[in-house]
Amino acid sequence: MIHELSIAGMVCPNNVFLAPMAGYTNEPFRSMCSSLGAGLTFTEMVSAKGLHYRNAETRLLLYHGKEHPVAAQLFGSDPDILREACESEELADFDLIDLNMGCPMPKVTRNGEGSALLENLPLAEAIVSACVKSGKRISVKFRTGVSPQKKITAEFARMCEGAGAAMITVHGRTRDKIYAGPCDFAEIAAAKAAVGIPVVANGGIESAEDCREMFEKTGADAVMVARSALYNPRVFCEITGREMPPLLPLFETQMRETREIYGERFALVFLRKMAAFYLKGTPGAAAYKRRLFEARSCEEVSRLADEIFA
């Protein structure tokens, strides 16, 4: 079930991946998940237009240290601008470029980006083809369709492979479900049956048992862990059979690296939120969360972490 996976010559130490998550998968969080067993990590989704216009905040999303393999996720709807982004200096050191064709948020879809591309296969194909011409490894992350009545998983998978994608990730829900409801194993299995490139299954994986079920019911080559990693990054240890380290030193390292890279203000806001996630299931969590969000410095958050996670 868990094994090394090669993607167009890029070797991942295992086939359990950390999903790209807007607002969360920055370098310190990716690095932590990698150390806990994630075989491949992805940046937050990054606007190709933001890179084109050299937006400083967009470029900061692509900060990464020495972790490899690592993938950058792009979104956009202009094939030329997306190819330009793939060829840019900012993406030169990434091992894989992932194209987001699954984001369901209106602020993305109303611009014809993300899951809006599920309804425009010619444009989606042109985007994949243009990005492949950059010479980078290209993957595509998409949903099963825009609604239960409009599922196009196998067709979209074949299009991606035909356009040159090296891997696809299927989020087993339609756009209208956002992140709710059961994962559609049959649709992911249909994608796997339709193509010869690696297929990654995404949706609802919170434990080693969920992972086992996903592999058994879909035949996927890899799985992608998303929101459950925010609450329990050590889920990668559980799935891959690694020894589970204590949470406090992990949090302390995450705090230090976040402060060094992104500054005090960002670290305070981000780590309060992350500590609150990690509290899930802890006795007295509500009271601790109130104290966390009242903290006015990283030092206060660190002191609370010593109390909470010791």
Instruction: Say if residue 107 is exposed, middle or buried (CB neighbours under 10 Å; 0-12, 13-18, 19+).
Output: exposed
- Digit-by-digit pLDDT tens for the chain (310 residues) are 899 999 999 999 999 999 999 999 999 999 999 999 999 999 999 999 999 999 888 888 999 887 899 999 999 999 999 999 999 999 999 999 999 999 999 999 999 999 999 999 999 999 999 999 999 999 999 999 999 999 999 999 999 999 999 999 999 999 998 888 899 999 999 999 999 999 999 999 999 999 999 999 999 999 999 999 999 999 999 999 999 999 999 999 999 999 999 999 999 999 999 999 999 888 889 999 999 999 999 999 999 999 988 7
Structure tokens at 251: 């949090």
Q: Is the Cβ–Cβ distance between 20 and 227 less than 8 Å?
A: no
Q: For this structure, is 103 an active site residue?
A: yes
* Rg of the chain, C-alpha, whole Å: 19
Alpha-carbon span 307 to 2, nearest angstrom = 35
Which of 198, 235, 205, 237 has its CA nearest to residue 219? 198
Structure tokens at 279: 């509290």
pLDDT score recorded for residue 193: 98
Distance between alpha carbon 268 and the CA centroid of its chain, in Å?
Answer: 23
pLDDT score recorded for residue 67: 81
pLDDT score recorded for residue 186: 97
Phi, psi at residue 220, to the nearest 5°?
-60, 155
The pairing of strands 138-143 and 167-171 is parallel
Alpha-carbon span 154 to 169, nearest angstrom = 12
pLDDT score recorded for residue 204: 93
pLDDT score recorded for residue 309: 87
Phi, psi at residue 227, to the nearest 5°?
-60, -30
pLDDT score recorded for residue 179: 86
Cis amide prior to 69 (ω within 30 degrees): yes
Residue ranges of domains in the chain, CATH in brackets? 5-240 (3.20.20.70), 247-309 (1.10.1200)
pLDDT score recorded for residue 283: 86
Q: Supply the pTM of this predicted model.
A: 0.96
pLDDT score recorded for residue 93: 94
Q: Which of 12, 33, 86, 103 is catalytic?
A: 103
Find the DSSP H helices in the chain. 27-35, 48-52, 56-60, 79-86, 106-109, 121-132, 153-162, 185-194, 208-218, 227-231, 235-240, 247-262, 264-278, 285-294, 298-309
pLDDT score recorded for residue 282: 86
